[in-house]
Structure 1
Amino acid sequence: MALAVSLRGARRELDERTAPLAGLVAAFIFAAQMLNFPVAAGTSGHLLGGALAAILVGPCTGVLCVSVVLLMQGVLFADGGLTALGVDVTDMAVTTTVVSYAVFRALLAVLPRKRRSATVASFVAALVSVPAAAVVFTLLYAIGGTTDVSPGKVATAMIGVHVLVGIGEAVITALTVSAVIAVRPDLVHGARGLRQRLTLRVNSVLVDAPAPVAARTSRRALWVTGLVTSLLLAGFVSFYASSNPDGLEKVAHDKGLDAKEREHAAADSPLADYGVKSVSDARLSGGLAGVIGVGVTVVAGSAVFWAVRRRRGSDASPVNTGP
């Protein structure tokens, strides 16, 4: 249901400028999720990406971006159960995107209409979205959990660690949004309508001044830069990521939520566990897997968003030009 609504909404959000960016956003989120960062003793965290996607390309398109990433991770890398894909999409794609975008828009309504406000709002929105996902996970566990651990204990453990993960999410999101706004604010869905106010002092009085005309980074240059950055993150930087389990894995192990865990359906995939099985060198194996993942995600994501964009055009009513 959520994906159907998102597909319909994405038709309104995507245009010829943003459709290519949406595929790139999915690839960047895939790459960034490989970079686990330490948040506590024996625990790490990684980007969820819902806030980042919602602000850059819109909430409905953002849901689809994160969903594409989750599908690629499950099918190619045996990361996340395929039978639990619906739960993962609800928690990591829908919840983070909807919550973060609601917070983002609410903050922009009260903050000055400046581009800097978008950066501040993106930080807070991303920070809130991660513990919100932890709350939704607890609710889903309370409804369909198969262990005897009380939902209260799960909530305490999940929310506590994911507040810390949210700080990392907020920093990554704010820095990325700020960087894109600096070069192409017109391509940032959440920043449309914002302007950088310039003033001049004339006779000791501050007056508004017209903004100077600055050269803008082309869409192609932005896309290439984003793709190269994603490839570097997944192919090189990911080797130095924290090896500690992420917040969910840590809580699941400590509380016994993984007592009935079974082997992943894609465990025999040649890219399972983010490594190329035929390559013995760990660094090269992980780097190649990351590069392949970015490539497949950007192609799959771009295909999905171009198809959605074309569907929007086919659904448009023809203009009546008369007899």
Structure 2
Amino acid sequence: MTPIFLLHAADGFFSVPVSIVFWVITAAALAVSLRQVSARLDDRAIPLMGVMAAFIFAGQMFNFQIPGGTSGHLLGGVLAAVLLGPYAAAIVMACVIAVQAIVFQDGGLVVLGVNIFNMGLIGTFGGYAVYRAVAAALGGEAKGRLPAAAVAAWLSVVAAAVVCSFQLAVSGTTSLEAALVAMVGWHVIIGIGEAIITVGALAFIQASRADLLTLRDAPASS
């Protein structure tokens, strides 16, 4: 049996109360992110936001096969957060996922708040926090950037699968045990692909345009 892959969930998989709760959480997080970006983001990083959105959008259109007859695709939240910071990255991820839902019907509109939270905010905020912690433990970003990004990218996918499993169980779509087995078991493997793509992209940027790695913490232009 092909396991369920519901990070791009369609309408009907989550109950209306769960969808509303995560619409509120997601809207609040994006409102804070917009304020922070307006106050803190260097203007030079704005074009990078567009490039990153295009890259993640394209990356999510290509699935990589894994054993067992299923597939995964890039989420990109950790990659965006490492380059742009979590607030700008959250906006980028929300735009990508919203366009996919509205234009390509990849994910429902009622559950859009859930999808943005699972596929975007978990990686951009939670994954970024893991990235900073692991990088600090390895001696700083200069030394630990790539291994820290690998750990954070992998963990963001697994965490999204765990959260999604609880959302499905609370919604009454399936039992928690069945959701965890189907979702987490496979996303442990899918997360490896996420880590490889994230590290590959960062390694390329580090070798070719290392200046882009400094924009995240640059002060906003006056």
When normalised by structure 1's length, the TM-score is 0.56
Say whether 1:181 aligns with 2:202: no
Q: Give the drift of 1:110.
A: 1.6
Aligned with residue 127 of structure 1, among 151, 154, 171: 154
Q: Which amino acid aligns with 2:191?
A: G
Aligned to 1:292: none
C-alpha separation between the residues in 2 aligned to 1:22 and 1:117? 24
Say whether 1:168 aligns with 2:193: yes
Contact preservation (8 Å) 2:85, 2:216: no
Q: Give the drift of 1:14.
A: 2.0
SS of equivalent to 2:75: coil
Q: Which amino acid aligns with 2:189?
A: L
Q: Which amino acid aligns with 1:124?
A: V
Structure 1 unpaired stretches of 5+: 194-311, 317-323
Q: Which amino acid aligns with 2:66?
A: V
Aligned to 1:154: 179
Q: Give the drift of 1:20.
A: 0.4
Aligned with residue 20 of structure 1, among 43, 47, 62: 47
C-alpha separation between the residues in 1 aligned to 2:71 and 2:94? 22
Q: Give the drift of 1:56.
A: 1.1
SS of equivalent to 1:63: helix
Q: Which amino acid aligns with 1:48?
A: L
Q: 1:179 to 1:191 in 2, by over 3 A?
A: farther
Q: Which runs of 4+ in 1 moved over 4 A?
A: 189-193
Q: 1:190 to 1:167 in 2, by over 3 A?
A: farther
Q: Which amino acid aligns with 1:87?
A: V
Q: Which amino acid aligns with 2:186?
A: V
Aligned to 2:122: 95
Q: Give the drift of 1:21.
A: 0.2
Q: Which amino acid aligns with 1:86?
A: G
C-alpha separation between the residues in 2 aligned to 1:3 and 1:31? 22
**Sequence identity, in percent?**
45
Q: CA RMSD in A?
A: 2.1
Q: Which amino acid aligns with 1:180?
A: I
Report how many aligned residue pairs link the two structures. Answer: 194
Residues 23-47 of structure 1 show CA distances to partners (whole Å, capped at 9, x for unaligned) of 1101100000111001122100000
Contact preservation (8 Å) 1:118, 1:191: no
Structure 2 unpaired stretches of 5+: 1-27
Contact preservation (8 Å) 1:73, 1:80: yes
Q: 1:189 to 1:75 in 2, by over 3 A?
A: farther
- Residues 1-323 of structure 1 mapped to structure 2, 5 A cutoff: 1-113=28-140, 115-143=142-170, 145-147=171-173, 149-188=174-213
Higher helix share: 2
Contact preservation (8 Å) 1:123, 1:171: yes
When normalised by structure 2's length, the TM-score is 0.81
Q: Give the drift of 1:192.
A: 5.9
